[in-house]
């Protein structure tokens, strides 16, 4: 992979990179298109990264559709695909994965992790301990193998974006991070490979995530600036769907992921909830212009 990407860059090409875990959908496709538009050569990766899954999470059943993914990538003009096996990325890890009830301390025979301290324990990091450490470690490895000029990520995973941006800044990585908007189904559900787990009934219930965000956005649009009141409204909306179990509903600074009290300078509204055993996430960014400067009297 490194030989191929170096050859492409030697030829004067700007290399854009789209890392994925496969089971590709329109969200991934939008990243590829953004990469295509901004690069001479586009590389993608498909790797279901074991180190970002917790002991009791869905690593074993994570959807895989390699042949279809390859066709999609080819159709979209991706030039290079990196699809390593677990052993190639983490020599010796496969044995450590046999017992999924324990969290591996070493990455197979390797002992080096990349951790963005503090940020990695917020939002999804709180309910998925070790998740972001796995993400930043694998993304670092992928960056070192692919050596892209730019890498394309989805706003869908807002905490991941904040953490990767911070890693790139802190480690002086020579890669530009480009963030692309959330792609949704016609009814508002954020596209996700995990939507494949939902049965038709759950698929309907899953819409409550988007609904809760729309309610908060709408309320902010009428002048409500108090994050506490906006969060309460969002949680209330989720609670109406009694079979959906809320993990978190938070309004935070999009860079630090710390809760904000007042949204008038913009904020990230993020939600995670379980629909059945499927954990879904979604978010919306309140821009400063979404919140009127003067509060409308109630």
Residues that bind ligand AMP (CB under 6 A): 20-21, 27-28, 30-31, 153-154, 156-157, 180, 182-183, 190-193
Whether 28 is a known active-site residue: answer: yes
The catalytic residue among 28, 131, 144, 210 is 28
Nearer to ligand AMP, 31 or 219 (CB): 31
What the block records as the tokens of 255 is 């860079």
Tokens representing 170 are 């802190």
Closest distance of CB 289 from ligand AMP, Å: 22
Cβ atoms 121, 256 nearer than 8 A: no
Write out the catalytic residue numbers.
28
């Amino acid at each position: 992979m490194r030989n191929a990407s170096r050859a492409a860059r030697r030829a004067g090409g700007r290399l854009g990179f789209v890392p994925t875990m496969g089971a590709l959908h329109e969200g991934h496709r939008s990243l590829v298109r953004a990469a295509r538009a901004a690069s001479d050569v586009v590389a993608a990766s498909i790797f279901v990264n074991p180190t970002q899954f917790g002991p009791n999470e869905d690593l074993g059943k994570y959807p895989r559709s390699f042949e279809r993914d390859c066709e999609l990538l080819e159709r979209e003009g991706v030039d290079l695909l990196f699809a390593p096996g677990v052993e190639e990325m983490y020599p010796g890890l496969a044995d450590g994965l046999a017992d999924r009830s324990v969290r591996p301390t070493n990455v197979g025979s390797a002992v080096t992790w990349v951790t963005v301290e503090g940020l990695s324990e917020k939002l999804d990091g709180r309910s998925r301990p070790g998740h972001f450490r796995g993400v930043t470690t694998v993304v670092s490895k992928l960056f070192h193998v692919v050596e892209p000029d730019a890498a394309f990520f989805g706003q869908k995973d807002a905490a991941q974006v904040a953490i990767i941006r911070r890693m790139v800044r802190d480690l002086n990585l020579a890669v530009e991070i480009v963030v692309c908007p959330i792609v949704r189904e016609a009814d508002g559900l954020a596209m996700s490979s995990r939507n494949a787990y939902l049965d038709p009934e759950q698929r309907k219930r899953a819409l409550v995530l988007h609904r809760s965000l729309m309610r908060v956005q709408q309320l902010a649009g009428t002048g409500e600036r108090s994050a506490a009141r906006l969060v309460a409204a969002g949680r209330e909306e989720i609670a109406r769907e009694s079979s959906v179990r809320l993990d978190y509903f938070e309004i935070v600074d999009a860079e630090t992921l710390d809760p904000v009290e007042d949204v008038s300078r913009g904020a990230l509204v993020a939600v995670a909830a379980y629909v059945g055993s499927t954990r879904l996430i979604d978010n919306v960014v309140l821009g400063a212009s979404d919140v009127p400067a003067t509060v409308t009297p109630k």
